[in-house]
Copies of this chain bind each other. A is one copy, B any other.
């Protein structure tokens, strides 16, 4: 995994073949495909970890917190503590470089957005559970998550476009944008 991410970030995703990755760690191509379902999967290994952290953080928030507040805390928590699970696999700086690469590689961006959509579905179900709502009849859980997700995406995109690639900056940009729309979203929730 570390070898793959290093190759990806050094020479680009498309220009890195599975054979190269496999050769770098002296295994056959077939073995690579036994551990990763496809080439994309290895590219999202650290994202996967961060997302799990995010979801777990949401589930750990106190039950009396409003949905948006809980989401906000969870995402800032997950991105602040990027190190936790990821550091053991790859250097955090590699994780960040990979995030940039994902945002700037069309095929990876597509997969990233789909993964995000799946995560949002799980988030919406968790919000519904917290609030005791039926997700099939009440649109609010999905709506609040969808809009929240939109804000996160905008923040991430701005970060990628910018120069400063520290984790802290990403956190700050995210917090700023959430503050911007938070009140309106919270209001709409109570309607």
Q: Footprint of B on A, CB under 8 Å?
A: 106, 109-111, 113-114, 116-117, 139-140, 142-143, 146-147, 149-151, 153-154, 157-158, 177, 180-181, 183-185, 187-188, 191
Within the oligomer, what is the number of copies of this chain? 2
If over half of A's interface residues share one DSSP class (helix, strand or loop), that class is named, otherwise mixed; here it is helix
Beta-carbon contact of B153 and A146 below 8 Å: yes
Which chain B positions have C-beta within 8 A of A147? 146-147, 150-151, 181
CA distance A154 to B154 in the complex (A): 18
Q: Are B191 and A184 in contact (CB under 8 A)?
A: yes
Selected A-B contacts with CB under 8 Å, 13 pairs: A106-B114, A110-B111, A113-B113, A113-B116, A117-B153, A146-B147, A146-B150, A146-B154, A147-B181, A150-B150, A184-B187, A184-B191, A185-B188
Q: Which residue in chain B gives the minimum CB-CB distance to A145?
A: B150
A185, B116: Cα distance in complex, Å: 22
With A117-B109, A150-B150 known to touch, is A184 a contact of B180 (CB < 8 Å)? no
